[in-house]
């Protein structure tokens, strides 16, 4: 071997030694190191990354680096590989999957590797385990989220003051003053929310805490809302160090109502004169004090709202004197059911309320509620009478059902009405569902009042057909509500609410105007004139301007009055017979016809109809439904038809759906029918098509059930 060969061997040995040295350094490094080829497959992995993943380097080599990541990190890594090919060095957090299935978070610093021809060969990556740091970050995020949630949803106004300005306020504080959170933080000074007569007080209290003269101060001042109105505010603030500078953190309440109540109490008595129990004013005052104590001591508190069942019957039958004696006796029994530390009050009428303070368990409240109900089992001896009375109780709890007296009393009242709905003589705890039911009714009522301006009401038309010729006699206008969220609502779903709220008057007039205009439009389109029937509610019938309103609609729509038929229910006509006669007579004299709807369901006799200008009666569908299976209904129908014909009244049966019903009515000599056997109520366009398909009334309509019944 010559010297040249020895030098070559020596050089190779030195290179191998250098390689072993660097390999040893890489394997003993405290960071994971990997190299990938151009396809992102591992061509090198040091011992540290293998230990991090619970593998050996040999188990990792040749596999795509994506195999060791979860799905989300794999997607990010694939995008990073594209950037590496473009020559960009990257650093990114990835979540790796260990061999045992656990996760490992790591920072991966990646650099691209190119050959001499600038072709991409792969990447060199340094991997640092940051799992513990990630856990700490996530724990901090959860803690911050929990704290922020508590503050943001607090029913107390919370603030942070530094440098004479608000640095933070929660939504409740913004709500109290009528601003948004951003608007309050943008105010130049805290004093912008303070009334002029309280600014010196607030400024001095802020100074004392900022300069260290006092750590915490609780005081009352007058605040100024965005609209300029003045409110009474109770504030509690404590000095803290925030970002190395002094600051004040605290909470405040709007106590305007409480202050107003205190002023009212000064001019009123504190006790009910009849029962010698605290009245409502004193009850609320004591409840506020009890709530403060419960909050301070972190205790539960219960409000019981009680109402005597059917007290009005006793009062009406035996007189107010006996009723007053019963109210006093009830007060005595209620006081015997509670502790001396509790408060029993008479709220008004036959309503009582109880404050149960220092409650540790809901079971304790249940025991007292049962005790109260049991005490009513013994009859009351009142003026030689033994009176049996029961009570319905609603219960609300602090802090679950509210933090303020008014809220708790209102919620207990709702629960009491729920107890009455369940049969009386029981107790019920408040639940949010009771508020939802009340809210749903308010929402529906508000939506109903806006139906006219939004154009959500539509009129459907259903023909009344001569039973012998099958030709259309008249068309009844029936209102529907096209609700944007609930779909098409039939009258039973909203008419009772419209009647209760008084909206039925406006609704009736709108239906009358729409139906009359539609009838005239059909005539203008070339269809033969057809009688249009419109229902009048009891509330509409009571209106003083009924005659003027109807005639104005007829004039404005240019409809022949003889083509208008107004329907009123039997009960409406009979209950207001003396008022009905002149109104119906006046409209009848102008050519308008009348019919009685729902006949047979009221308490009238046909003799009363002699006094009314009525030409037609409609037998209520409740009598038709069970034909021909109910002989009693069939006998009533036959009698009504016979008597009506003797009085020369036209008789229509409504709700006819079957051939059997039609056959019976035909044999009973009924004059006309209305129902799904002929046609369901249809929109104006579909009704017009129905008429045209039967040669514009000149051909009889077929008696056959229709689809899409409403």
Strands 165-169 and 300-308: unpaired
How many Cα neighbours within 13 Å face the side chain of 648?
Answer: 3
Which is nearest to 658 in space by CA: 607, 624, 692, 612? 624
Work out whether the CA dihedral 488, 492, 493, 499 comes out positive or negative: positive
Which is nearest to 641 in space by CA: 650, 631, 633? 650
How many Cα neighbours within 13 Å face the side chain of 326?
Answer: 32
Which is nearest to 240 in space by CA: 249, 231, 232? 249
What pTM value is reported for the model? 0.44
Quote the radius of gyration of the chain (alpha carbons, Å). Answer: 42
DSSP designation for 707? S
Which two structure tokens, joined as six digits, stand for 378?
Answer: 């013994």
Helix (H, G, I), strand (E, B) or coil at 376: coil
| pLDDT of the residue at 598 | 77
Burial 655-686 (b: 16+ CB within 10 A, else e): bbbbeebbebbeebebbbbbbbbbbbbbebeb
Work out whether the CA dihedral 6, 12, 15, 17 comes out positive or negative: negative
How many Cα neighbours within 13 Å face the side chain of 555?
Answer: 7
The CA distance from 616 to 584, in Å, is 14
Answer yes or no: are the C-beta atoms of 318 and 382 closer than 8 Å: yes
Q: Cβ neighbours of residue 325 under 8 Å, at least 6 residues apart?
A: 382, 383
Q: What is the pLDDT of residues 640-694, one digit of tens each?
A: 899 889 888 999 999 999 999 999 999 999 999 999 998 899 999 998 888 777 6
| pLDDT of the residue at 494 | 82
| pLDDT of the residue at 441 | 64
How many DSSP H helices and E strands does the chain contain? 27, 27
The CA distance from 493 to 445, in Å, is 12
| pLDDT of the residue at 134 | 82
SS (H, E, C) 660-703: HHHHHHHHCCCCEEECCCCCCCEEHHHHHHHHHHCCCCCCCCCC
| pLDDT of the residue at 191 | 94
Residues in the chain, pLDDT under 70:
1-29, 143-145, 147, 266-267, 313, 316-317, 435-443, 500, 571, 574-579, 600-609, 694-710
Main-chain phi, psi angles of 610, to 5 degrees? -60, -30
The CA distance from 103 to 655, in Å, is 70
Alpha helices in 277-430 (DSSP H): 280-297, 311-318, 320-337, 362-375, 405-421
Alpha helices in 529-630 (DSSP H): 538-541, 546-557, 570-575, 577-589, 606-609, 621-624
Answer yes or no: are the C-beta atoms of 342 and 357 closer than 8 Å: yes
Q: Cβ neighbours of residue 107 under 8 Å, at least 6 residues apart?
A: 91, 92, 93, 127, 128, 130
CB atoms within 10 A of CB 312: 12
Work out whether the CA dihedral 673, 677, 683, 686 comes out positive or negative: negative
| pLDDT of the residue at 361 | 86
Strands 531-535 and 472-483: parallel
């Amino acid at each position: 071997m010559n010297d040249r060969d020895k030098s070559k061997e020596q050089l190779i040995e030195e290179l191998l030694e250098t390689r072993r040295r660097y390999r040893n350094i890489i394997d003993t490094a405290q960071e994971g190191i990997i190299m990938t080829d151009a396809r992102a497959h591992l061509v090198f992995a040091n011992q540290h990354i293998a230990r991090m993943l619970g593998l050996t380097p040999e188990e990792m080599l040749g596999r795509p680096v994506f195999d060791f990541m979860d799905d989300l990190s794999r997607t990010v890594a694939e995008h990073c590989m594209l950037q590496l090919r473009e020559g960009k060095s990257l650093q990114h957090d990835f979540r790796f999957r260990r061999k045992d299935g656990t996760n490992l978070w790591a920072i991966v610093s990646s650099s691209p590797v190119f050959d001499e021809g600038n072709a991409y060969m792969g990447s060199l990556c340094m991997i640092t385990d940051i799992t513990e740091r990630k856990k700490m970050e996530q724990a901090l995020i959860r803690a911050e989220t929990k704290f922020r949630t508590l503050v943001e949803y607090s029913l107390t106004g919370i603030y942070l003051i530094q440098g004479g300005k608000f640095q933070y306020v929660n939504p409740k504080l913004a709500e109290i003053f009528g601003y948004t959170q951003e608007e309050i933080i943008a105010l130049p000074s805290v004093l912008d929310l303070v009334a002029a007569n309280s600014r010196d007080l607030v400024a001095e209290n802020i100074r004392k805490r900022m300069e260290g003269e006092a750590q915490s101060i609780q005081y009352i001042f007058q605040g100024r809302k965005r609209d300029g109105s003045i409110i009474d505010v109770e504030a509690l603030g404590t000095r803290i160090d925030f970002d190395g500078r002094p600051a004040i953190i605290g909470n405040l309440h709007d106590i305007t109502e409480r202050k107003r109540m205190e002023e009212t109490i000064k001019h009123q008595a504190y006790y009910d004169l009849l029962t010698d129990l605290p009245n409502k004013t004193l009850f609320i005052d004591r409840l506020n004090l009890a709530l403060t104590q419960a909050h301070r001591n972190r205790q539960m508190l219960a409000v019981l709202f009680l109402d005597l069942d059917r007290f009005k019957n006793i009062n009406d039958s035996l007189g107010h004197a006996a009723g007053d004696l019963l109210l006093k006796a009830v007060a005595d029994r209620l006081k015997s059911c509670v502790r001396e530390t509790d408060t029993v009050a008479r709220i008004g009428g036959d309503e009582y309320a109880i404050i149960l303070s220092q409650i540790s368990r809901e079971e304790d409240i249940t025991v007292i509620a049962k005790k109260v109900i049991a005490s009513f089992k013994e009859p009351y001896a009142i003026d030689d009478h033994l009176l049996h009375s029961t009570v319905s109780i609603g219960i609300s709890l602090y802090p679950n059902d509210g933090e303020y007296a008014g809220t708790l009393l209102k919620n207990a009242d709702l629960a009491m009405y729920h107890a009455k709905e369940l049969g009386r003589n029981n107790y019920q705890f408040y639940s949010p569902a009771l508020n939802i039911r009340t809210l749903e009714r308010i929402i529906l009522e508000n939506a109903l009042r806006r139906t006219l301006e939004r154009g959500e009401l539509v009129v459907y038309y259903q023909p009344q057909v001569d039973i012998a010729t099958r030709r259309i006699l008249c068309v009844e206008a029936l209102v529907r509500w096209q609700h944007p969220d609930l779909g098409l609502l039939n009258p039973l779903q909203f008419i009772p609410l419209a009647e209760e709220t008084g909206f039925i008057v406006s609704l009736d007039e709108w239906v009358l105007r729409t139906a009359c205009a539609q009838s005239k439009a059909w005539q203008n389109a070339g269809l033969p004139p057809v009688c249009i029937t419109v229902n009048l509610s009891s509330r509409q019938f009571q209106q003083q301007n009924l005659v003027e309103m109807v005639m104005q609609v007829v004039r404005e729509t240019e409809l022949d009055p003889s083509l208008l038929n107004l329907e009123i229910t039997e009960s409406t006509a009979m209950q207001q017979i003396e008022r009905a006669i002149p109104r119906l007579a006046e409209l009848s004299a102008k050519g308008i016809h009348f019919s009685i709807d729902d006949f047979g369901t009221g308490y009238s006799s046909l003799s009363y109809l002699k006094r009314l200008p009525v030409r037609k009666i409609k037998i209520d569908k409740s009598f038709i439904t069970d034909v021909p299976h109910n002989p009693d209904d069939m006998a009533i129908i036959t009698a009504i038809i016979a008597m009506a014909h003797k009085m020369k009244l036209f008789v229509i049966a409504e709700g006819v759906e079957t051939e059997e019903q039609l056959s019976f009515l035909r044999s009973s000599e009924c004059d006309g029918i209305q129902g799904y056997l002929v046609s369901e109520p249809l929109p104006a366009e579909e009704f017009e098509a129905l008429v045209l398909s039967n040669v514009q009334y000149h051909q009889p309509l077929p008696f056959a059930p229709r689809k899409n019944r409403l």
